[in-house]
Amino acid sequence: MKVAVGMSGGVDSSTAVALLQENGHEVIGVTIVTHEGGLAETAALEAAEQLRIPLHVLDFRTVFKQEVIDSFAESYYRGETPNPCVLCNRKIKFGELLKQSRGLGADYLATGHYVRKMVDETSGRWLIQTGLDAKKDQSYVLYSLSQEQIAHALFPLGDYTKEQVRDLARNRKLTAADSSESQEICFIPDDNYAEYIRAAMGKDSEPGDFTDFSGRIIGRHRGLIHYTVGQRKGLGVTFGKPMFVASIDPVGNRVILGEGNDLYTDILWATGLNWIALERLSGPLKVQAKIRYKANPAAAVLYPENNLVRVQFETPQRAVTPGQSVVFYDGPTVLGGGVIVSDKCGIRQDLLKAE
């Protein structure tokens, strides 16, 4: 079987190649250039040479900008806090890269994601499950994959912990064994979101008012791109007590502030739904739900409401943030997920219109 491995040159993708080779597969490497200043191709070339596999370096800068960077910038400018990794996995890695890998003769595209793939023997549907290493589990960012994409994906590291992967690499004397972890968002230097969005959009966002929940003006903000729900530091104004961003109102160009307890809500709404373990949501369903990548799963009930799903939590959740994904689980199995369109103040109607 011929397998293409998405290679960054790091320990995960390098070890994935080694494991696949040892299982008798013909392996080729594929590396994508996604943005200016990316250095992954250099490390990938070194890893491919050591592993003695051909490496195809593919220029994805145009499609990555169209599908990921522009979407991220526009969403952030609307007062959302999107997760570009979700979009990248669906559109780029398991979209265009999978397509081109199959064009190179590969039957599957393998990646270094810490997740497991299974098939439901009853329904025949492909499933994504959490990886063995709970700290490294990446199932959250793969909830939007289609059945066709999962069918042609392989995840060789799903049954290993990160330290086990490093040990596997050391035992095989791979130069990537002790490589550093990648940064949170690969295309934003120094995690300076506001500066990046300003450059990408070619404009800054307009200053406006800080208000409380009653609408009373309590200060001035620098522009919506400088804030996200739950933020405390960097408000630029002191209030004599800890204050947090509770909600962002782009229609009124307001940032609504509250105290710590004001950040909690037991309900959210999501749109852009994708189901993996289910064909569709036909009625109320008990799940565990994650409202951000590093969040712990929380017990909730899903209710379908037209093109939305309402998520009712058993216990209030802190800083529900529009633009982030909410992902639904049944134990280790990803049921599906969607993009949050509400916060403490309810549904953001402007986001429904933007759909």
For domain 2-189, give its CATH number from 3.40.605.10, 3.40.50.620, 3.20.20.70, 3.40.50.300. 3.40.50.620
- Condensed to tens digits (0 to 9), the pLDDT of residues 59-68 reads 999 999 999 9
User: 24: phi > 0 → left, psi -120 to 50 → alpha, else beta; which?
Assistant: left
pLDDT, tens only, 294-344? 999 999 999 999 899 999 999 999 999 999 999 999 999 999 999 999 998
Q: Which residue among the candidates 16, 44, 186, 287 is catalytic per the annotation? A: 186
pLDDT confidence of residue 39: 59
Which sign does the torsion angle of CA 289, 291, 297, 301 carry?
A: negative
Does the annotation count 88 as an active-site position? yes
Separation CA 179–CA 165 (nearest Å) = 12
Q: What tokens does 80 get?
A: 């959302």
Global pTM reads 0.94
Section 177-204 average pLDDT: 79
pLDDT band of residue 187 (cuts 50, 70, 90) is: confident
Q: What are the angstrom distances between the C-alpha of 301 and each of 108, 186, 275, 304, 329?
A: 35, 34, 16, 10, 11
In this prediction, residue 27 carries a pLDDT of: 98
205-258: CATH number: 2.30.30.280
Over residues 30-47, the mean pLDDT reads 82
Amino acid at 291: I
Question: Token digits for 291?
Answer: 């409202």
What is the model's pLDDT at position 354? Answer: 56
> Is 262-354 assigned to CATH 2.40.30.10?
yes
Per residue in 91-145, pLDDT (tens digit) is 999 999 999 999 999 999 999 999 999 999 999 999 999 999 999 999 999 999 9
Mean pLDDT of 80-95: 96
Question: Model confidence at 184, in pLDDT bands (50, 70, 90)?
Answer: low
- Helix axis angle for 70-77 and 193-201, nearest 10°, is 110
Flag whether pLDDT at 355 surpasses 60.
Answer: no
Residue 38 has pLDDT above 70, yes or no: no
Confirm whether 85 is a catalytic residue: no
pLDDT score of 242 more than 80? yes
Residue % of the chain over a pLDDT of 70 = 97
Q: Say which of 17, 27, 87, 88 is annotated catalytic.
A: 88
Q: List the domain boundaries for the chain.
A: 2-189, 205-258, 262-354
